[in-house]
Every structure is written in C-alpha cells, then in structure tokens.
C-alpha cells in the first residue's frame, strides 16, 4: 500500500480496493453535493489563534462524555454498509476504536449485528437508530441494544425520506432492481479481486446484520436497501422521540439537528445530547453546514445538554476547530470507513492515531494543554 500521510491517502487507497458501487455510496452526497462540499470548506475556514511561549510540554486531549472517558473527543460515526468495506468490517473497526479509547457508533444498517460487534470487539458499541414505520422493529432494536449493554443510543431524526443520491443511481447500487442490478454489482466486485477474496468469499454472509431477521439472511443486498427505503417514516414527530425516550434508559443523543428551535425541542423531549449534523451532505442539499449552524445552537442549549457535531472532519485539527466553536466532541464517518476499506483494523487504528497526533500538535500550537472543561 502507498504511504498514508493523511485522510485523502486513505480515501485513494479505499477507492482502489473496494467495488465502485460501495465506494460511491460511502463517498457521495445528495443531489449536486453542495452541502457535502460546504461541510469541508466551512470547517477548513475556521480560524484558530496561534499562541507562543506557553508550557505545552504536557497535552491531554481526553474528555468525559456520557459517563465515558474518551482518549480524545472523537466518535466513529454510524455509517450504513460500512462493514462491507472489509471482512466483518464493523467488528474490525470496533476493535481498533476500543484499543484507542474512543467509541464506535454502530449503524442500524451495518453489515454486522449489535451482538456480533459486541462479541467480536469485547465491548458493546454505541448504537444508532432510525424511526421507521415498523414500530415493532424499532422496539425490538431498542431491546437488543439494551440487552447488549450499548452505552449510548444515537437517534437519527433527519431522514423522514431519503435524499436523492445520484451517484448511487449511476453506480448501480440503487435504481437497478432484480437480476440486472445484481449482475452489475457483481461485475464491479469482480474487478476488485482482493475485496472479492477478503469480503465476498471469506466475509460472508453479506447482509445487513440488524435487519436480517426481517428479510432473512439469504436476501440480496437490493432487498435490504429497498425495505429500508420504504420504511422511513415521514409522519414521525417529537412525540415519537418521547416514545423512544420512555423505552431507552441510557444516554439518548439526537442526531441531525441544524436549527436552534429543534435543539430546544430535542432537549425538552429528554435528549441527553444532540449532534449538529446535515447527515454528511447526504440529505437536503444546500442545507447549512454543521460548522455554520453550531454557534447558534450552542447559544440556544449550551450548558443544558452535550453538543456534538459532524461533517467535514478530515484531521485532528478539524476536531479542535469544532471544539473552538463549542462542540464537546465530534463524529467522523467517511474517514474511518475509507481507512477500513484501505487496510482493515490496522487502517482504522492508524487513522485514530493520526487524528490524535494532529490534535495534540494543534493544541500545542494554540497554547491549549487540556480540553476539559470546555
């Protein structure tokens, strides 16, 4: 593998290794990808104050979040299909995260189930959940997360309907039902023989582990994605969040907040934390970036709830940028999946170490020796 110096190198390596339809799904945004670009550009535009002649010989980037001590203010964000980028991929990523002292948040539509990740990594992950039409499925997932002792629930609220993702149509992941779609994806997979061996053959079953009980483990990927797309609930309201709160005893984090009024409503409904996020630019194209939305939300609910942010994180320096705007911690999605696709568990471990080193250097150059209290 080529020398890995930054996140862009992981992205390039993943692109060479994983099938085209899978890379496009992870990499892409909705519509013309305006919000996807804004996330990166707006975060890069945050100015930090360089300070000098301060004793920065001891740097401590750790934080305490929802009763957990994190080695740095980073959570590996929930990403659907992430585990298909390497053999039983979410298990590998969770092992790397646990070793580094940061949480992995497992997506509802992960390749590996909650139970597999908990058993395979030695520690239960955070769990991300959507509000779906099938409330029985939602209730069952809450029960499974409780039974697995997941330490936090991240409830995603910005997906009443899926955004239009043109890159997925062009790649054949969506819009190509039945045998024709399967053959198209198979052709792309066969063009990546390393992935075919590692994931396609040795990493079976290729399913969505948490959903397999609904459609059966032998259902093709297209059936899983179709079931999910048809089950997002456009009728969900704040009352449904209160229903989730009543069934979940642990920390509840609401993801997908961009407006101060929605932040206040989430706190009123019982959220212990919020994630300021535009879903990685994958939903409403043209929506404000988390970077631009964050200050007003901090003004609205800062001090009453924990505030996390995601979108555009490509380095440890970006973690400090979000912190400078008032975020307690950040979530990063695409980077860890690119690292997983490039080099499996070793890649994710290297990425987290890279973020840690970059954050420590940025803290030293701004005269910051510790991140708590905010």
Q: Does the active-site annotation cover 259? A: no
- What lies within 8 Å, CB to CB, of 27 at 6+ separation is 11, 15, 167, 334
What letter would DSSP give residue 352?
H
Joined together, the tokens standing for residue 94 give: 């969770």
Q: Which contiguous run of DSSP H or E holds residue 310? A: strand 306-310
Residue tagged 């997979």 (tokens): 189
CA distance 13 to 10: 5
CA distance 72 to 352: 9
- Strands 252-257 and 329-332 come out as unpaired
**What are the beta bridge partners of residue 130?**
156
CA distance 36 to 173: 20
CA distance 100 to 85: 21
Q: Find the catalytic residue in 38, 95, 185, 279.
A: 279
CA distance 253 to 265: 13
CA distance 261 to 20: 40
Please give the positions annotated as active site: 279
């Amino acid at each position: 593998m080529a020398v890995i110096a930054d996140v862009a190198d992981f992205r390039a390596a993943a692109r060479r290794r994983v099938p085209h339809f899978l890379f496009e799904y992870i990499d892409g945004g909705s519509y013309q990808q305006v919000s996807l670009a804004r996330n990166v550009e707006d975060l890069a535009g945050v100015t930090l104050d360089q300070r000098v002649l301060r004793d920065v010989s001891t740097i401590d980037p750790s934080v305490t979040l929802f009763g957990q001590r994190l080695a740095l203010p980073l959570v590996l964000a929930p990403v659907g299909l992430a585990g298909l980028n390497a053999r039983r991929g979410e298990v590998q990523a969770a092992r790397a995260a646990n070793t580094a002292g940061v949480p992995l948040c497992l997506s509802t539509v992960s390749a590996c189930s909650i139970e597999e990740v908990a058993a395979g990594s030695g520690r239960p992950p955070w769990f991300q959940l959507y509000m779906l039409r099938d409330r029985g499925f939602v209730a069952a997932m809450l029960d499974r997360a409780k039974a697995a002792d997941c330490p936090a629930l991240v409830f995603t609220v910005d997906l009443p309907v899926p955004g239009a993702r043109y890159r997925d149509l062009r790649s054949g992941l969506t819009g190509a039902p039945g045998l024709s779609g399967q053959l198209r994806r198979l052709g792309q997979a066969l063009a990546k023989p390393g992935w075919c061996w590692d994931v396609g053959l040795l990493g079976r079953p290729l399913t969505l582990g948490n959903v397999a009980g609904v459609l059966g483990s032998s259902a093709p990927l297209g059936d899983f994605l179709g079931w999910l797309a048809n089950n997002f609930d456009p009728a969900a309201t704040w009352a449904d969040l209160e229903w989730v709160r009543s069934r979940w005893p642990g920390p509840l984090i609401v993801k997908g907040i961009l407006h101060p009024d929605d932040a206040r409503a989430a706190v009123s409904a019982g959220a212990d934390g919020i994630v300021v996020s535009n879903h990685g630019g994958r939903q409403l194209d043209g929506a404000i970036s988390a970077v631009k939305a964050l200050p007003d939300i901090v003004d609205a609910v800062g001090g009453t709830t924990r505030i996390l942010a995601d979108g555009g994180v490509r380095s440890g320096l970006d973690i400090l940028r979000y912190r400078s705007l008032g975020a307690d911690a950040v979530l990063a999605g695409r980077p860890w999946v690119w690292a997983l696709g490039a080099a499996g568990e070793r890649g994710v471990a290297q990425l987290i170490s890279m973020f840690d080193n970059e954050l420590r250097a940025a803290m030293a150059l701004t005269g910051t020796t510790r991140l708590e209290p905010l």
